[in-house]
Chain A
Amino acid sequence: MTDIQAQSQTIQAPIYRGFLATIGIEIHVQLNTLSKIFCSDATTFNSGDNENVSPLTAGMPGTLPVLNEKVVEYSVKTGMALNCEIRKKSIFARKNYFYPDLPKGYQISQYEEPICEHGYIYIKLDDKVKKISITRAHMEEDAGKSNHSGEFTLLNYNRAGIPLLEIVSGPDMSSPKEAAEYAKTIRQIVRYLNVCDGNLEEGSLRCDCNVSVRKVGQEKLGTKVELKNINSFRFVEKAIEYEIERQIDLVERNEKIVQETRLYDPDKNRTFSMRTKEDAQDYRYFPDPDLLPVIISESYIEAIRKTLPELPTQRMSRLQADHKLPEYDAAVLTAEKEIADYYDEVAKFCGNYKAASNWIMTDVMREINSDPSKLSGFIITPAMLGELIKMIDSQQISGKIAKQVFAEMLLLKKSPSEIVKEKGLTQITDTGALEKVVDEVLAANQNSVEEYKKGKTKLLGFFVGAIMKATKGQANPDLVNELLKRKLS
């Protein structure tokens, strides 16, 4: 964090046709607890229709919510990672509205006293850094799903009651790129914390964006429009881009921007009106009498703080400062927690940070198709890769042979030392043995030796190649060079 904070360059707000954009984002993060927020129903994504629906989830009379403590733990954890103040006492409130996918006719949420408030995160864009404030983060339950098919609407309440943490940013972003970067950073953080799988397509993370525009020089913010139904970071960017242009067009035509909720249609790349403020609901929030206030002690907060993993920005700084990795490497390696964990283990094993980084960014990434989830079952464990790097560093094998060993490891599922031993791939570092080969190669290429001695020093590479070929690549290249220079002088 310190490194990032020290960077003073901040991002300039871009100007669009003489206008500035103001963007705030609400992100619904589905917490990956095993059971729902207020009952013991499972939260599995692929269950059969209405399989995870107890009388409580169905909103049957007399059933009462009982808070899942894990939800509090995950929320506090996330709040800390977002640099929030954690409220010692927070309250659940009922948000009342009628919709078939809402079984009780109200959603249990938090209103006046949310669990997390007043935080911030840093986002990074083109080597520049910006601080984005987090207004609040509150716990709530998800609604079910309506599936409209023909004349029927079918309801699936499996999702009803799945815990959500709604993270609300300040209106601090001024471009679609920043907005997307903010959303990506939040995703990265919740994945690092392992409180959410971050899967946008399955709806584990849902972004609502508030967008307004105003003329450069104008103080007052323009009328804001809320964009919903955005299920990828690319669409966050696209939807906001479209919306900024749409709003500027309206202002330029002297038309009024209506305060409303709009849905983004990715196929048409446009937004369309869902409901205007006139149809806005009065949610009649009031404290839920079925639930006691959530009281959080200092010792609870401290206990959770101890479980906080190193966060992406901290980790990136450490890799740059302590491991002397270039910023690019550090960014790639820390983008996903699984990769960063893998890197750290390899680095710990072999001590050669840059080599570990190179191997992971190229060979490992290629083998796992850049999918970090595949690392957990990856044949080449960090210890195996670490050993391989060590063998190069101790000149037991050459870098070229190492690539071959890496491929064999994947195939045979064996450690590099076993493979090197079995295949006899150990590098030849015995001067006597190598000298013999050098002599043979020089003897067989007398013409070239003559030419070299006449000044065609480029031929050195030819000799090296021939020696390598003769030794099946196992000759130590440094030693070969040394011997050649001596013999040819």
Chain B
Amino acid sequence: MEIEKASLKELSSAIKTKKISCFELANIFLKRIHEVNSILNAYIHVNEDVLNQAKQLDQNNNEKTNSKERLLFGIPLGIKDMLCTKGIPTTAASKILQNFIPPYDATVVKKIKDHGGLLLGKLNLDEFAMGSSNETSYFGVCKNPWDLTRVAGGSSGGSAAAQAAHLAAATIGTDTGGSIRQPAGFCNVVGLKPTYGRVSRFGIVAYASSLDQAGPMTNSVEDAAVMLEVISGQDPLDSTSSEKPVEKFSDNLARDLKGIKIGIIKEFHSDKIDPEVTKTFNLALENAKKLGAEIIEISIPMIEHSIPIYYLIASSEASSNLARYDGVKYGYRSEFKDLSSIDLDKFYSQTRSEGFGDEVKRRIMLGTYCLSSGYFDAYYKKACQVRRLLKNQFDEQFKSCDVILSPVTTSPAFKIGERIDDPLTMYLNDIFTVATNLAGLPGMSLPYGFSKNNLPIGVQLMAAPFQEKKMLDVANALEMTTNASKQMVTLS
């Protein structure tokens, strides 16, 4: 069996029938991490204990423990370092949390463990998931396996790169404005952001609470469906998690698109999009038609405002969410020679100035400003109103189409350092992805082609709230029309 090409279902079956042991499988991935992680910088913490945990699973690999319901029995996974892992450092790629070890698991992590999944380690990201290139990480940039001079994308750059380089059977990312889908597009993996409320946010370091969702990054659509089944569901620890039943997303995935209406957003037409991206998108559209889909043009006028709305709302929430990192209770505290002579303001400002990076500070300042008295109505409140209108427009358009197809990014992966000093250009990179977060919709990125320079290019699917099954069906059919995701990266 070629581990790199095996699906999660195949791996699971191989383990349960003891064609391969949990130890062997974990060891293959761990070895590869030791070989190439220094090149990519995808993992920022490797769980060396995974081999012991795998051995224990092997000792307990029987019909009782490896039941059909345990979808990830013995399967080694990587987790974005934005999710709390009990007893394993969780840093959000920030200096301010560099020594933080949570005494609890995020619900997503707990669900993975309940399904028998193993943790290979914690994956790199932009600091507090604030960024589109993984360049704001306190632990340094994560490189794109397809071109080491380019970014893996962000914020879930580590998750995308690790997945693309087969440093895990599947990985978990988080997506606040495109942080799963954009790096997935840059690295040629499938990345899925669920409907807001589908997956519990408990234990996920909060960036923007009304937008954050965790989701899978995988080799295939089917794998994404399996992972979604594992991590979804209402959680008593998260009031915003939905009571909607979790479907068997990976069962009977569609192979054609008969009767499916695919919407394309008029406002997304732009000459600022890289021609190779447009070409790939058009190819996907043509293939969808061949599979029986009907293509209709839809209009969502408010989508033009989605970037400013996103940065206003996300930054406002972040300014409040990150207030807890103050050096008082846990995490980084600046070194003070004589604490008793330091006033409280100095204590806070020095700790936070040293503990946070520039991009995080920029967003805290922006958010603090938006929420300040005198500006609240003009910025935060107005942004929330426009967000509501945007959601209404999506709801309206989903009456006439099943899914929406669009590019994921305006261009393939850009060069490391190219945009880091130009935050505005960096922010505009999120144009295709932020609207789904604002409207709470599910969205996913699907590998669909390569540029002339052999850089991956993806397409994006979006669906109405809680229509992940439909979205995965369309993605599965489309996946059959391309061999993009079968392309293997070779790291020299």
- Given contacts A104-B324, A286-B380, is CB(A62)–CB(B83) below 8 Å? yes
A368 within 8 A of B: no
State whether A61 touches B320 (Cβ < 8 A).
Answer: no
State whether B239 touches A292 (Cβ < 8 A).
Answer: yes
Bound CA span A396–B400, Å: 91
B424 within 8 A of A: no
The residues in A between 276 and 299 inclusive whose CB is less than 8 angstroms from any CB of B are: 282, 284-286, 289-292
The residues in B between 300 and 331 inclusive whose CB is less than 8 angstroms from any CB of A are: 316-317, 319-320, 322-324, 326, 328-330
Contact of B205 among A62, A65, A291 (CB under 8 A): A62
Bound CA span A486–B368, Å: 98
Bound CA span A289–B104, Å: 22
State whether B210 touches A98 (Cβ < 8 A).
Answer: no
DSSP class of B's interface residues: helix, strand, loop or mixed?
Answer: loop
- Chain B residue contacts of A62, Cβ below 8 A: 83-84, 102, 106, 201-206
Bound CA span A64–B322, Å: 14
Residue of B97, B204, B326, B330 most packed against chain A (CB within 10 A): B326
A155 within 8 A of B: yes
- Chain B residue contacts of A229, Cβ below 8 A: none
Q: Which residue of A lies closest to B381 (CB)?
A: A286
Contact of B339 among A151, A286, A289, A290 (CB under 8 A): A151
B340 within 8 A of A: yes
State whether B329 touches A59 (Cβ < 8 A).
Answer: yes
Bound CA span A96–B209, Å: 15
B87 within 8 A of A: no
**Segment among B5-13, B266-274, B371-379 that sits at the interface with chain A:** B371-379
Bound CA span A285–B90, Å: 29
Bound CA span A100–B351, Å: 13
What string of 1s and 0s marks CB contacts (under 8 Å) between A45-71 and chain B? 000000000010011111111110000
DSSP class of A's interface residues: helix, strand, loop or mixed?
Answer: loop
- Chain A residue contacts of B324, Cβ below 8 A: 59, 61, 103-105
Report the minimum CB–CB distance from A169 to chain B (whole Å): 24
State whether A61 touches B100 (Cβ < 8 A).
Answer: yes
Residue of B106, B201, B323, B371 most packed against chain A (CB within 10 A): B323
Number of interface residues of A (CB under 8 A): 32
Report the minimum CB–CB distance from A109 to chain B (whole Å): 13
State whether A98 touches B348 (Cβ < 8 A).
Answer: yes
- Chain B residue contacts of A289, Cβ below 8 A: 208-210, 240, 317
Bound CA span A66–B322, Å: 19
Contact of B206 among A55, A61, A151, A152 (CB under 8 A): A61
Bound CA span A55–B205, Å: 13
Bound CA span A106–B239, Å: 18
Bound CA span A100–B210, Å: 26
B103 within 8 A of A: yes
Bound CA span A291–B106, Å: 18
Report the minimum CB–CB distance from B396 to chain A (whole Å): 24
State whether B239 touches A64 (Cβ < 8 A).
Answer: yes
State whether A61 touches B323 (Cβ < 8 A).
Answer: no
Bound CA span A286–B340, Å: 34
A187 within 8 A of B: no
| Extra inter-chain contacts (17) besides given A62-B206, A106-B323, A282-B372, CB under 8 Å | A55-B103, A60-B102, A62-B84, A62-B106, A64-B202, A64-B240, A65-B239, A98-B344, A100-B326, A103-B329, A105-B326, A106-B320, A284-B373, A289-B210, A290-B239, A291-B239, A292-B240
Q: Offer 5 A-B interface pairs, CB within 8 angstroms, sorted by A.
A: A55-B103, A55-B104, A62-B202, A64-B240, A286-B371
**Chain A residues packing against B (C-beta within 8 Å):** 55, 58-67, 94, 96, 98-100, 103-106, 150-152, 155, 282, 284-286, 289-292
A-B pairs with lowest CB-CB distance, top 5? A105-B323, A151-B340, A284-B371, A289-B210, A289-B209
**Chain B residues packing against A (C-beta within 8 Å):** 83-84, 90, 92, 97, 100, 102-104, 106, 201-206, 208-210, 236-240, 316-317, 319-320, 322-324, 326, 328-330, 339-340, 344, 348, 368, 371-373, 376, 380
